[in-house]
Amino acid sequence: MEPLLDGETAVVTGGASGNGRAMALLFAEHGADVVVADIREEPREGGAPTHERVERDTDRSAGFVETDVADPEDLRTAVAAAEEFGGVSVMVNNAGITHSDDFLETTEDEWYRMMDVNAKGTFFGTQAAARRMVEQGTEGSIVNMSSFMGIRSRPDGVRYCASKGAIRQMTYAMAGALGEHGIRVNVLHPGLTETHMSMGDLAFDEDPGADWVERTPSGRVGQPTDVARAALFLASDLASYVNGTSLPVDGGRHSSS
């Protein structure tokens, strides 16, 4: 198969673990140099850091930048790090947090933390990458990460749903704002995926999200590679006429009762 991102440079926030790690590795396999931007370098699932895996297992280059996506300056630093590889052409705003809580007991600090990481991080990550793309005079692709819960809702996740719904709506507006510059902006909505963030320390061989599986037409929990392949499509020229689009990656769960 021909590489889909040959010569591109991708910045992946939250790229040390989970879905972000899978995306960074797959992008490198398809010819992209990668900047891994994360608050931690060590992957939660164990093994070598993502940027080391890229350089060990592919012929591409990679680097790591310690990044708190709630800090716009950190995001600008991560995008600037892509200059070493020729400048950012693909931005994936993947970093995020999740938490279930009691709506009546949610504090203002808890609200702002969720919005700062998920919504604010996506806004300023997109802005930083888009500014650089415009300065370079190059087209580019930005992939934002919402959630199944940015489409549907659950009563113990009001602030999480709010943050992920904001990402969906921002994506639509960003696509309109940046289209004239040849920059596409799309959003993924992963469902329950076998990562530490989504499922914590759940023993998958004992109970692989039984309730999710029962309600999902595809009959299984998602894998990080499922999300990575969808992101690869949106990042690549295969999706050159796909802009301002939401793509659920949830085995059809959003369409079921």
Q: Which residues contact 76 (CB under 8 A, 6 or more apart)?
A: 124, 128
Quickly count: other Cβ atoms within 10 Å of residue 109's Cβ: 8
Q: Is residue 112 annotated as a catalytic residue, yes or no? A: no
Ordered by start, the domain boundaries in the chain are 9-255
Whole-number percent of the chain with pLDDT over 90: 78
CATH number of 9-255: 3.40.50.720
Whether the CB-CB separation of 198 and 253 falls below 8 Å is answered with no
Whether the CB-CB separation of 74 and 67 falls below 8 Å is answered with yes
Task: Please report, for residues 112, 123, 199, 237, the alpha-carbon distance to residue 115 in angstroms, rounded to integers and kept in the order given.
Answer: 5, 11, 21, 31
Catalytic residue among 112, 160, 172, 241: 160
The larger pLDDT score, comparing residue 48 to residue 204, is at 48
pLDDT digits 0-9 by tens, 115-169:
999 999 999 999 999 999 999 999 999 999 999 888 988 888 899 999 999 999 9
Spell out the alpha helix ranges (H) of the chain: 18-29, 50-57, 72-81, 108-115, 121-136, 158-178, 196-199, 210-215, 224-235
pLDDT digits 0-9 by tens, 156-186:
889 999 999 999 999 999 999 999 999 999 9
